[in-house]
Amino acid sequence: MSPALTSRKLVTIICEAELEALLVPELARHGARGYTLTEARGQGARGVRDGAWRASSNIRIEVLCDATVAERLVDMLQARFYADYGIVVFVVDAAVLRPGKF
């Protein structure tokens, strides 16, 4: 790792597109300083989501943050969304520049 880089967490959330309006505001409320969103489709336990219309589209959200915020996000997502929505979350170690930003 380059000396310029600091270790942070990358939290990736894959979920139903219609969750966007509900979920995104929660991120900031739990300490995320930003996020990146791409449109996606896929398949899982709830069947194929082929992206043909909004109701069968997914979104993929990435949040770079420190370990504390990552844990807070994961707990919040589990508590609020896991029971009722198609959602997958995973966390990866990432090295970032400007650690103060995340």
Partner 1 sequence: MPFEPVILFFLLGLLAALVRSDLKIPGVVYEALSIFLLLAIGLKGGVELARHDVLDLALPALVVVGVAMVIPLACFPILLRLGRLPRADAASIAAHYGSVSVVTFAVASSFLATRDVPADGYMTVFLALLELPALLVGVFLARRGQGQVQWSTLLHEVLAGKSIVLLAGGLLIGWIAGPEGIKPLDRLFFDLFKGMLAFFLLEMGLVAAGRLADLRRAGPFLVAFAVGAPVCAGLLGLLTAGMLDFSVGNAVLLATLYASASYIAAPAAMRIAVPEANPALSIGAALGITFPFNLMAGIPLYYWLAVHMNGAFS
- Please state, in angstroms and rounded to a whole number, the distance separating the CA atoms of residues 102 and 90: 18
Q: Could you say which of ligand AMP, partner 1, its own copies, none residue 18 binds, taking C-beta under 5 to 8 angstroms by partner kind?
A: partner 1
Question: Which of 34, 54, 82, 97 touches ligand AMP by CB under 6 A?
Answer: 34
CA distances from 59 to 21, 53, 62, 66, 98 (A): 12, 13, 10, 22, 27
- Quick one: 22 or 28, whose CB is closer to its own copies? 28
Residue 62 found at the interface with ligand AMP (CB under 6 A): yes
Among 55, 93, 98, 100, binds partner 1 (CB under 8 A): 55
| Segment interacting with ligand AMP, rule: CB under 6 A, options 18-26, 40-48, 72-80 | 40-48
Partners of 58 in beta bridges:
16, 40
Which option in ligand AMP, its own copies, partner 1, none does residue 92 bind, with CB closer than 5 to 8 A by kind? its own copies
Residue 31: which region, alpha, beta or left (left: phi > 0; alpha: psi -120 to 50)? left
Q: What's the min distance (Å) between Cβ of 55 and partner 1?
A: 5
Q: Is 54 within 8 Å of 2 (Cβ atoms)? A: no
